[in-house]
Structure 1
Amino acid sequence: MTLQRADRRPPALDSAELDAVIAEIAEDARRRRAEGGGRPERALELAREHLLGAVRIPAEAGGGGYSMREFFTLAIRLAEADPDVPHILRGHFGTVEEAWRARDTERGQLWLRRVLAGKIFGGAQAELSGQPGVYTYDTTLVADGENFRLNGRKFYSTGSSYADYLRISANNEEGRQVSVVVPADRPGILHAGDWDGIGQRETGSGTTVLDDVLVYPDEVGEFRRIAEPGKPRSPQAHLLLHAIGAGVLRALTAETADLLRRRTRSYSWGNTELAREDPQLLAVIGSLASTTFVVEAAVLTAADALDRAYRHVWEHGRADDALERAASLETSKVKVAVEKIALQAAAEAFDAGGASWTRASVQLDRHWRNLRTLFSHNPTVYKARVVGDVVVNDAPLPGVGFF
């Protein structure tokens, strides 16, 4: 099936084009940090221009044809350049997977055409209010003649202020959950810009206000958050957080190595005159580099399990429950295993530089803050409990979206 002209495709993973895009994203991030911050607008322009949002669509349909391992490798590289960028695109990538699974439907075709035109999808799902543990929303979709009106407030709406289209969850007049997809600039949609997290500061993860937003009937779709037999679990979004973490560790390793390499002062009780030759300081960097390797390897191993599960859905039109369970379980194990060692490594990196590396101008602390923010998405202790229950009691995985 052909959805896009062959003269415009996403770059290959090992291409000079992609190398140049990532280098420009990294340079833009360095410039914005030096200037005191700012949104990664240029990075999102590059993502649209080079169709980075379409890398998972098969090549024969005009996409990049990336495997899951290749996709997560891209995510790690993007995160090394600027961890906000793949986080902004997190909801978009999930939408692409859904669109390809529904490629034989009018809705799936529409989404795919938009993705292949460089458009970006964002999400506005979570609310600060609502009943704990229950998928119900204060945001409402009510009839207005032949159309509908959407009203409410969403928080944690990551990427929404950068997006071309928004996926928004709501309760309809019957109390059932629905999902709507509307243009992000439709009248009545306001992006408050009030995200004040300690890390991932430019992901646009704050409030989206919905004030009497017009919604057409063909923009209303199915809502599904509970896993069902024969349906994909889609733990991709959760593994992506840890791919971003691997990219953060890559950047931290490179920065600390460069700082140590350029350091002219040494401790009076150190082992060598040059800090870069001190075996104890080198051991700090060596430990950090090794942790980075382990985190990245864990992410890519789980990506292979995801690939097996997703390919089965693509080829057979139905999920294999055993493959889905394996992919979800491996993703959960990654979360449980890597978070403590990653945070510890980000803290111990300062041991190679001492007080001079704690200056605000060095900005080394941003890596720990970014990791802490990423890893706070769904509690690790619950993931560990579920993994243990599976190992000991062969318990089923929970049916909610965290798994």
Structure 2
Amino acid sequence: MTRIDQAWGAGPTNRYDELAARFRPVFDRIARGAIARETTRGLPADPIAWLKESGFTRTRLPQNEGGSGATAAEIFALLIELSEADSNVTQALRAHLGFVEDIVGLPFGARRELWAQRIARGETVGSAWTEIGEAPMDGFATRLSRSKDGHVLNGAKFYTTGSLYADWIDVGATLDEDATTVAVSVRRAAAGVSVIDDWDGFGQIGTASGTALFKDVPVSADDFVKEEGRFLYSPAFYQLVHLATLAGIGRAIIRDVSQIVATRRRTYSNAAADLPRADPQVLQVVGRARSAAYAASAIVLQTARALDRAAVSRLAGDEAAYREAVDLAELETCQALPIVSQLIIDAASQLFDAVGASATRKGLALDRHWRNARTLASHNPRIYKDRIVGDYAVNGTAPPQQWQIGVAGA
């Protein structure tokens, strides 16, 4: 059955359903264990392994490099479906997806060849960029320093999403030699690397977004690059992964609450019908939530087309056209973020009105939808996006080219 048959609308391309068909059985398998993982803090190592085995993690690579040649819009449509199954899995793969996006936009050369081969083999990449506490906004305490055999990495990171499950970790560091920011790739299993599952957030608890420690980790010259050379639309890309995840949560809300309402026999003496599935007020709650999920998905796919345009501009080599496409992709993402976030947060709260007190039972884990949505919506504060969009609308101001978090002036 296609998503058209389910009234979610057409995919982003004519071949989308053919592409998605190979992964949908894996998504279904992931969904069957989602509640158990949520209620026992079970980590999704097996689901990520299934996705690697299916070829999902290399889908964006061109076919001649071992992938499926998927467009960015196709990737985001797949992420909505994966997030319906288990949003923790999508979040845990976010860094890998962004890393692959950077690689497929590189000119053919040594770095692209090295990483395309690694990705084609199913190797995945986690993230370790953010530093907490008194970390400076304009640099990293984590350092890449010269050693007698090359370079070594030392430092500590938090919000290391997906790194516990990855083969490699993408680390932001300061290069001691010239104080520039570099992106460093280290093997998770390398000596001196420790990844700790100490994430204590109330949402996205299966992402292992906790601490990573690096102590004298050897780094080869092939495995670090200046950060400024990476793809310019990375802020929009990483944010849109969150929005696709939110859209998938919206679909999961509908799946779960619809099943409960359809089979529920208990109702209230002051209800409008003898069965919840015939109660117009209950149906209105479900219908409104489904409309929110539909709108969120449509917004994500529209925004994803802007990222495809940025990707094409990068490959074309026209710097001015690339910069314009990047700014427009960032603006579209800024416009999408507050709306998609609020739609799904509201739906995740209002779903309880369709069922009643029994919906709060821990075994149903319906609260995970709100907790996960609220957590995702907190990653890149929504309060700044409306201002950026308004400044563009009124003054023609381009969006910020990049943003970081830390202590200003530290």
TM-score (norm 2): 0.90
Partner residue of 2:194? Answer: 190
Tell me if 1:255 matches 2:253. no
SS in 2 for 1:104: coil
CA 1:167–1:112 in structure 2 vs 1: closer, same or farther (change >3 Å)? Answer: same
Q: Does 1:95 align with 2:99?
A: yes
**1:270-289 maps to which residues of 2 (within 5 A)?**
270-289=271-290
Partner residue, 1:5: none
* 1:305-316 pair list within 5 angstroms: 305-316=306-317
Q: What is the distance in 1 between the residues matched to 2:104 and 2:230?
A: 20
Tell me the residue number matched to 1:66: 70
Give the drift of 1:103. Answer: 4.3
Indicate if the aligned counterparts of 1:43 and 1:85 stay in contact, CA closer than 8 A: yes
1:352 and 2:357 aligned: no
**Distance in structure 2 (CA, Å) of the matches to 1:17 and 1:53:** 13
Query: 44, 52, 57: which is aligned to 1:53?
Result: 57
State the one-letter code of the partner of 1:167.
Answer: D
Contact 2:60 2:104 in 1 (8 A): no
How big is each residue's C-alpha offset from its partner over 1:197-235, in whole Å with a ceiling of 9 and x where there is no partner?
A: 1111011110001122122233222122999xxx54551
C-alpha distance in 1 between matches for 2:279 and 2:233: 51
Q: 2:29 aligns with which of 24, 27, 41?
A: 24
Match of 1:112 in 2: 116
Q: Which secondary structure does the structure 2 equivalent of 1:338 belong to?
A: helix
Structure 1 spans left out of the alignment, 5+ residues: 1-10
For the pair 1:326 / 2:328, whether they are aligned, the reply is yes
Shift in Å at residue 170 of structure 1? 1.2
Given that 1:261 and 1:276 are in contact with CA atoms closer than 8 Å, whether structure 2 keeps it comes out as: yes
Conserved? CA contact 1:51–1:117, under 8 Å: no
Contact kept, 8 Å, 2:35 with 2:364, in 1: the verdict is no
Moved more, 247-256 or 310-319: 310-319
Aligned to 2:86: 82
Give SS of 1:224's match.
helix
* Unaligned stretches of 5+ residues in structure 2: 1-15, 405-410
Change (3 A) 1:93 1:13: farther
Residue 312 of structure 1: CA displacement?
Answer: 2.3
> One-letter code of the match for 1:365?
D
- Give the structure 1 partner of residue 387 of structure 2: 385
Percent of aligned pairs sharing the same letter: 36
Report the counterpart of residue 6 of structure 1 in structure 2: none
For 1:143-170, what per-residue CA distance to the aligned partner results, in whole angstroms no more than 9, with x for missing partners? 2113222111100111111100111111
**Which of the pair has the greater relative contact order for Cα pairs under 8 Å at 6+ separation?**
2
RMSD of aligned residue pairs (Cα, Å): 2.0
Matches within 5 A, 1:114-133: 114-133=118-137
Corresponding residue for 2:171?
Answer: 168
Alignment-mate amino acid for residue 80 of structure 2: I
Q: Is the 8 A contact 2:107 2:315 kept in 1?
A: no
- Paired residue for 2:183, among 179, 184, 195? 179
SS in 1 for 2:214: strand
Question: Would the alpha carbon gap of residues 309 and 121 (structure 1) be closer, same or farther in structure 2, given more than 3 Å must change?
Answer: same
* Structure 1 residues 167 and 17: CA distance shift in structure 2, 3 A: same
- Describe the superposition over 1:95-119 as per-residue Cα deviations: whole angstroms up to 9, x where unpaired: 1121122241211111110111111
1:215 corresponding residue in structure 2:
219
The residue aligned with 2:337 is 335
Residue matched to 2:363: 361
User: Can you list the C-alpha shifts for 1:245-304, whole angstroms capped at 9, x where unaligned?
Assistant: 000110011100111111111001111111111100110000000000111100000011
Distance between the aligned counterparts of 1:276 and 1:356, measured in 2? Answer: 16
Residues 357 and 12 (structure 1), Cα distance of their counterparts in 2 relative to 1, 3 Å cut: closer
Paired AA for residue 19 in structure 1: R
Matched with 1:3 is none
Is the aligned partner of 1:206 residue 2:187?
A: no
What CA distance in whole angstroms lies between the structure 1 residues aligned with 2:181 and 2:133?
Answer: 16
1:290 equivalent in structure 2: 291
Deviations 1:4-60 (A, max 9, x none): xxxxxxx975454322111111123244346x2301111111121112111111223
- In structure 2, the CA distance between the partners of 1:16 and 1:226, relative to structure 1 (3 Å rule), is closer
Maintained 8 Å contact 1:232/1:313: no
Moved over 3 A (4+): 11-16, 129-133, 231-234, 315-319
128, 132, 154: which one aligns with 2:157:
154
Is this contact kept in 2: 1:236–1:306, CA < 8 A? yes
Name the count of aligned residue pairs: 387
